[in-house]
Structure 1
Amino acid sequence: MKEDVNECTIDNGGCQDRCCNTVGSYYCKCQADQKLEEDGKGCEDVDECAVVNGGCQQRCINTLGTFHWECDTGWRLHADECTCIKMDPCTGGNGCVHICQSENGTARCACHAGYRLSEDKNICEGIELGIVNSCEKNNGGCSHHHEHAIGTPRCSCNHGHQLDSDEKMCIDLDECENGEACCDQLCISYLGGYECRCQESFQISSDGCGCDDVDECLDVSIVCDQLH
């Protein structure tokens, strides 16, 4: 019986990695994650990403002897090391100083009341600080109306009223006293306005201000002894 020759004893049978002897022959074998080259001796890396993208949801990165998954920009890898999850653009270093708002997957900066965005759309600059907030609370302290003004709200009043000395409270405007009334004879002031009246034997004219003499002779109810 002819004795088997172990080809692996001579230069490892020409194998790059492992040489496996068999009766009358031999074969080469590679370590895990590698495969034999076409010559049956050399070893080359197995590209796990070549088959169904390595099972990755987005990007499969092949490396020598192994591979790993990566996600596209705006996504992060889940704890299962396989699934990619959409990231909130307002988490992490979004660059916003005050408020970050997500719009279609993109971070947009915004500012608190009394501030505006700078030209770079990241920094918030103060504008007339305190105006907005002072008017938001308790009507800015005004009893009737308020409007924005630099430093403090500007109060205003309804018709027939005027600002008191504190420039906030509205008090009744006495048109009869300050000369604004148009009455020829009597002036009656009331809250928010006034009314003209006439003395006896006169009646208020169509303009609501003047007084016209009443011609009692036209009143048939009045009986005269002689002529009227």
Structure 2
Amino acid sequence: LRPLTLTYLTFFQALFGSQHETLCTSNTCFTFHMEKANFSKAHQSCTNNGGQLMTIRDKHEEDVLKSLLSRIQRESHSKPPAFWIGLKLHKKDCVVHGKPLRGFKWVSGEEDSSYSNWKKNPPLTCTTDRCVMIDYTFSVQDQLKWRARGCGGHAFYACKFYFQGMCQPLALLGPGHISYIAPFSKNPQKSRMNLLPKGTYSEITCSDQQSHYSVCTDCEINNDSVLCSCKDGYDLDEDAFSCRIGDLCRPDTCEYQCVMGVSGFFCRCPHGFHLDANLRTCSDIDECQLQTCEGHGCVNTPGSYKCPRSCKKHCAEERCQKVCEGNMDSSCSCPDGYIEDENFCVDINECASNWCQQMCKNTFGSYECSCREGFVPSTNGKCIIKAEDGEVSSTPATGFVKPATKNNPMKSSSVPAGAFLWVWVVVAVTVVITIFVIRLYVVKKQRNRELNFTQQPASPVENNQC
């Protein structure tokens, strides 16, 4: 292991009484933040201050974090709670138990690392965002254990900042006060800083109450004026004091996207691709190797994959074996028009439910309606009287059925039950009216006969004269 050269920079009042605790090595600073946030806000807080969520890419970085947490433990006599690190599984990426990072990626965009310290394997998933936090246990040797959880929870977090070097603190030649604001902080530090990351801003108040300021950078003093310059690969910032790394991204630097960071550039791949070992080109991820389609046939495409559409179940007999997926009974089902009977699917006889008005023929998974002579098929399984100048159609009216379920043993056609009731009401009313008209006609004719009979004159009597 590399030797640890650690210098504590900032104050620590109590675990919940200060904003953060800071620890620096020769070119890196780590801050532990004691305000809770979800993963997204924690990541944003680190990047807004010029850093990133903590990465633990090797045992050296883990030992640095242990030193920071041990100090908190000793100073506060409290156990630091779980906290976020910058490791995340994005939606549509899959958990892979065979890899050190289990398919997770560092949000800093850096390449995958071979070191990990999982408490237990994260659950297999390709459909949800998952983030990693660390449980810190002071009393055991293996103190920092990783575990995956949802990204919306709230927890403390640790940030990491890269610097090109450290500066020595300023020395006052007379009465006064110096306050320092580190590049990753908005407020002055409350304790003495033994080393200053480059970019640290200092405000000096002398005995004459005049304020002066200084920036930790590479400067030369010439005739009472400050001339700042930067090393090769760095550009002088707009404040004329601090240096920023030059833009190293060129059109041919990365295959897809080049991103500038605090310590240099890194290449980023689009979704569905991974960074190659040369850290510049990208290769497609074969999602089909991860059993993404659960054994139903998978087609790998550039940056994605396709699962085949499921086929509609079919049975050409009165009784067929159930179709099951996996070993669970709940995954078994039957084609439309069939009902489960133990391990089989049995055709439903719709004709027994009188779905047709006149004649019905049961078929496998469905049924057909037809009409007697003198009638022609209409919609919804009904028959209508054939017009005098029309032709009798031999095409049966076929019923359409919905899928049968365990709770609905009969298939349902598109013919509503109320339609048949309406037909019978119309027929009954027609018959009643016809009988009434015929009876009215007969009664009227009989009355006319009786009236004609009563008005007929008597026959004259013949007079016989002798």
Give the TM-score, by structure 2 length: 0.19
By relative contact order (CA 8 Å, sep 6+), the higher-ranking structure is 2
Scaled by the length of structure 1, the TM-score of the pair is 0.35
